[in-house]
Amino acid sequence: MSAVNPAFLDELEAYGENAGALCFNCGTCAAVCPLDGGHFPRKMIRYAQIGAVDRIREESRELWRCLHCGLCTQTCPRGANPGEVILTLKRLFAAEWRKS
Amino acid sequence: MYEPKDIIAILANNVRKTMSPFGIPKSMVNGWWKEESLPRNGETLLVTGLMYQLVPFIETATTWLARYEDAKWAEYLPYSRFVPPRLSGLGLAMITPAEAKRKAAGHLKNIVKAMRASGRRFGYQPELDEYSGILLYDLGDQEGFVRHAKRVAARLKGAGVTSIVTVDPHTTYALKVLYPKYADASFEVRAYFEDLNLSGAHAGETLSIHDPCFYGRYLELSGASRKALGNLGYACADARRSGLFTSCCGGPAESISPKLASRIGAKRVEALGGSGERIVTMCPICLHNLEKAGADVTDLSTVLAGGLKTA
Ligand code: SF4
Ligand code: SF4
């Protein structure tokens, strides 16, 4: 079972502005995303919301498939800025790699 | 798909050492201006950000990366780590075709031609024209991006630059939005097609416009390119997704997964091809990726400069 970190979204703010908490999991972002199928980026936003850091880490390569095209952000009905949440997650891991 | 960690490490290292993501000396990348007799000073400074100039090298690098991306023996041999570092520096410069470099230079010359015909008074100082660092930003290497952006901004500020005209969406976004936020540097930044004053009579030709994400969505400039074309008499057809809702060409995925970039490019070409009109875009990355996906794509600068001949 994966550990969860309820404070993860707050901690993520050190790496960028993000409004992931506003997401109500509707899937509009995944429907418009030009990446092929799947539940990206909705799934990652959900993991971030519940603090499933291990799951994000396991699937972290997926983050770099993101084109940072912003179509998800443009269409998100909640203003949750999913594209920016993905970029912020990339920053988190990239910063860890720099330190390692 | 290559390991993001490896790709970021290579690109960041190149940028830190050479100010270029591919580690190629600027003298080998940026020579287009030599035949243009450009003044050094003007009302605004032309900053290309070297994106058009770098695309031929990106083309070469991604062709090689694509060859090894899903190689069966990649899991036995560390090829996925072995290939990317070879695709940097002088080695990459040597295997990049001269014709591709000439084509990229041609776009910049056409931009200059259109600006001159519009009476724009701009200067160009090649020593101040640097890569913006946008790829590091997009890949999440915030520390690497901020350090580089501050270096570039310090040079521009040190030279007293306040107003900049740009030629591609990635550099425009970096200088206009990211530099004020992260590099403590605010310039007045305009894309070259925002202030053109051209006229012509091309009634009858309709163009199918692919808005690059940064111009169409992030910077909301899709109206400006259509206006410049409209003034020359062209009609513009919108693809199903355009303007604020434009769909990506796939190009940004190239450094990590050339195959993913190709798949997305093919989907976009299909959507753009529906009207049967000539496809026009205004970004070197889009141009390259849509062409690679099989489309016949024309850069906005070619249309604008071509329009002048018969104007
Ligand atoms: S980020 Fe926005 S579009 Fe995506 S699932 Fe959440 S609310 Fe819906
Ligand atoms: S920004 Fe990333 S997640 Fe959002 S639509 Fe574009 S590719 Fe998909």
State the residue for tokens 């798949």: B263
Q: Is A2 domain-assigned?
A: no
What's the DSSP call for residue B128? G
Residue B65 has pLDDT above 70, yes or no: no
Protein residue whose Cα sits closest to atom 2 of ligand 2: A66
- Helix H or strand E segment including B165: strand B163-166
Q: Could you give the CA distance from residue A74 to residue A96 in angstroms, rounded to a whole number?
A: 29
A3 by Cβ neighbours in 10 Å (0-12 / 13-18 / 19+) ranks as exposed
Structure tokens at A71: 């179509």
Using a CB-CB cut-off of 8 Å, the residues of chain B touching A93 are 4, 140
Structural domains for chain B: 4-191 (no CATH), 206-310 (3.40.50)
Using a CB-CB cut-off of 8 Å, the residues of chain B touching A15 are 142
Using a CB-CB cut-off of 8 Å, the residues of chain A touching B262 are none
Instruction: For ligand 1, say whether the CB of A19 is within 6 Å of any of its atoms.
Output: no
If DSSP states are collapsed to H, E and C, what string results for chain B?
CCCHHHHHHHHHHHHHHHCCCCCCCHHHHCCHHHHCCCCCCCCEEEECCCHHHHHHHHHHHHHHHHHHCCCHHHHCCCHHHHHHHHCCHHHHHHHCCHHHHHHHHHHHHHHHHHHHHCCCCEECCHHHCCCCCHHHHHHCCHHHHHHHHHHHHHHHHHCCCCEEEECCHHHHHHHHHHHHHHCCCCCEEEEHHHHCCCCCCCCCCEEEECCCHHHHHHCCCHHHHHHHHHHCCCEEEECCCCHHHCCCCCHHHCCCCHHHHHHHHHHHHHHHHCCCCEEEECCHHHHHHHHHCCCCEEEHHHHHHHHHHCC
Q: Is A1 domain-assigned?
A: no
Rounded to 5°, angle at Cα B218 from A29 and B208: 90
Q: How far is the CA of A70 from the centre of ligand 1 (A)?
A: 13
Q: How far is the CA of B194 from the centre of ligand 2 (A)?
A: 27
Structure tokens at B171: 């550099």
Q: Could you give the CA distance from residue B266 to residue B284 in angstroms, rounded to a whole number?
A: 17
Residue A2 has pLDDT above 80, yes or no: no
Q: In what order do the strands lie in the sheet with B297-299?
A: B235-238, B206-209, B278-281, B297-299
Residue A35 has pLDDT above 70, yes or no: yes
Nearest CA in chain B to A66: B253
Residue B74 has pLDDT above 70, yes or no: no
Q: Is A63 domain-assigned?
A: yes
Structure tokens at B91: 């080695």
Domain span including residue A89: 7-99
Residue B248 contacts A where some CB pair is shorter than 8 Å: yes
Q: Which atom of ligand 1 is nearest to the CA of A20?
A: 1
Q: How confident is the model at residue B91 (pLDDT cuts 50, 70, 90)?
A: low
More confident residue, B261 or B203: B261
Mutate to test the interface with A, among B214, B254, B260, B290 (most CBs of A within 10 A): B260
Q: Is A72 domain-assigned?
A: yes
Instruction: For ligand 1, say whether the CB of A24 is within 6 Å of any of its atoms.
Output: yes
Supply φ then ψ for residue B54, to 5 degrees: -85, -20
Using a CB-CB cut-off of 8 Å, the residues of chain B touching A16 are 142
More confident residue, B91 or B238: B238
For residue B123, give the amino acid letter. G
Structure tokens at B288: 């390259």
Q: What is the CATH number of the domain that holds A44?
A: 1.10.1060.10
Residue B79 has pLDDT above 50, yes or no: no
Lowest mean pLDDT among A73-77, B168-172, B289-293: B289-293
Q: Is A43 domain-assigned?
A: yes
> How distant is the Cα of B301 from the closest Cα of chain A, in angstroms?
23
Q: For chain B, give the percent of residues with pLDDT over 90.
A: 61
Instruction: For ligand 1, say whether the CB of A66 is within 6 Å of any of its atoms.
Output: no
Q: How confident is the model at residue B66 (pLDDT cuts 50, 70, 90)?
A: low
Structure tokens at A88: 């912020």
Count of domains in chain A? 1
Instruction: For ligand 2, say whether the CB of A70 is within 6 Å of any of its atoms.
Output: yes
Instruction: Compute and round to an integer the Cα radius of gyration of chain A.
Output: 12
> How distant is the Cα of B247 from the closest Cα of chain A, in angstroms?
7
Q: How confident is the model at residue B73 (pLDDT cuts 50, 70, 90)?
A: very low
If DSSP states are collapsed to H, E and C, what string results for B77-110?
CCHHHHHHHHCCHHHHHHHCCHHHHHHHHHHHHH
SS3 of residue A70 by DSSP: coil
Mean residue pLDDT of chain A comes to 91
More confident residue, B239 or B93: B239
What local confidence, expressed as pLDDT, does residue B273 receive?
82
**Ordered DSSP codes for A74-96:** HH-TT---HHHHHHHHHHHHHHH
> How distant is the Cα of A87 from the closest Cα of chain B, in angstroms?
6
Partner-chain residue, chosen from A36, A74, A95, that has the shortest CB–CB distance to B245: A74
Using a CB-CB cut-off of 8 Å, the residues of chain B touching A12 are none
For residue A94, give the amino acid letter. A
Mutate to test the interface with B, among A64, A73, A96 (most CBs of B within 10 A): A64
Q: For chain B, give the percent of residues with pLDDT over 70.
A: 87
pTM comes to 0.92
Q: Is the peptide bond before A41 cis (omega within 30 degrees of 0)?
A: yes
What local confidence, expressed as pLDDT, does residue B277 receive?
86
Instruction: Look up the ipTM and state it.
Output: 0.94
| Contact (CB<8Å) A34/B264 | yes
**pLDDT by residue (tens digit) across B118-151?**
999 999 999 999 999 999 999 999 999 999 999 9
**Residues whose CB falls within 8 Å of the CB of residue B113, separated by 6 or more in sequence, listed in order:** B304, B305, B308
Please say whether the beta carbons of B207 and B234 come within 8 A: yes
